[in-house]
Amino acid sequence: MTSIPSNKPYRVGRSRTGLGLFATKPIKKGAKIVRYFGPLLDSKKKKDDAIENKYLFELNDRWTIDGSVRKNIARYINHACKPNAESDVKPRKRKVFIRAIKNIEPGEEINYDYGTDYFKAYLKPIGCKCAACEKKRKKQRAEARAEKARLKAKAERKALKKAEKLAKAKEKAKAKPKEEAERKVKKTLKLNGHSLNGKSLNGKPPNGRSLNGKHLNGNSRVRVAGKKSAGRKSPVSAPAPAVEAQPAAISLGAQPTAI
């Protein structure tokens, strides 16, 4: 690993993507951090134009910096979709500097946006591993787990409701023959003129018994709760008609005794 002078505000260290460049001192917003350098490649030369690697930094249509050399410490700076630094390109001078666009604290990884072309060619196929994309993927995974749990709970509720409906249908199926048998019994008793549940089915009292508190054996008296029934009084006989006294009959045949 290339040694870095101690007066520099950065160091090379382990990152989630391999190696990265980390701040060792506070870096203020707008400050130049490090220069991105290497051999200049001329696109008009076939030999230079044939070179391919991940550290090529295009200055313009003609000139490109080959930053694959070990001395180029800036090559360790990783891409980020929400970076804390940016590339300051100076085509005329054929130089590139990495400049802070935020205050960077010691221990924080330095990163910048590599650009759309590099992202599509190298990062998109394997998935960007910057902090912003990792956070986004973590959120998506959490949402996917929540959605899976929601669908599972919904399926369980649906299955429970279906089981309850099936249980009710079974109970109803079991009760149906019993109800049918009761209807048949009622129909048979009705045809035979019998009584059900204390009611007469042919207009006559069953067996001369009492139904619903009414006496049906010829005596229609009803005792009312809380009142004494009036006792039946014996009928008073009408007085016999008086017989008029008749005068004693005088016998016509009787003669007065002679004196």
Q: Where are the domains of the chain?
A: 10-126, 130-194
**pLDDT for res 12:** 95
Over range 128-149, report the average pLDDT: 89
For 23-47, the pLDDT digits (tens) are 999 999 999 999 999 999 999 999 9
Reference 16, options 94, 164, 132, 113; nearest CA is: 132
Instruction: State the pTM of this model.
Output: 0.56
Instruction: Note the Cα 133 to chain centre separation in Å.
Output: 29
Over range 124-152, report the average pLDDT: 89
Instruction: Identify the CATH number of the domain defined by range 10-126.
Output: 2.170.270.10
Hey, what are 123's tokens?
């990062």
Q: Tell me the Ramachandran region of residue 193: left when phi exceeds 0, alpha when psi lies from -120 to 50, beta otherwise.
A: left
In whole angstroms, what is the distance from residue 171 CA to residue 168 CA? 5
In whole angstroms, what is the distance from residue 19 CA to residue 16 CA? 8
Report the SS3 class of residue 191.
helix
- Is the Cβ–Cβ distance between 101 and 91 less than 8 Å? no
**Sequence-separated (6 or more) residues with CB below 8 Å from residue 20:** 12, 13, 14, 76, 77, 78, 109, 110, 111
For 64-92, the pLDDT digits (tens) are 999 999 999 999 999 999 999 999 999 88
What is the greatest pairwise CA distance in the chain? 213
**pLDDT for res 176:** 75
- Helix residue ranges per DSSP H, 109-253: 116-118, 131-191
Distances 95 to 6, 54, 63, 152, 185 between C-alpha atoms, Å? 24, 18, 11, 58, 107
In whole angstroms, what is the distance from residue 88 CA to residue 91 CA? 10
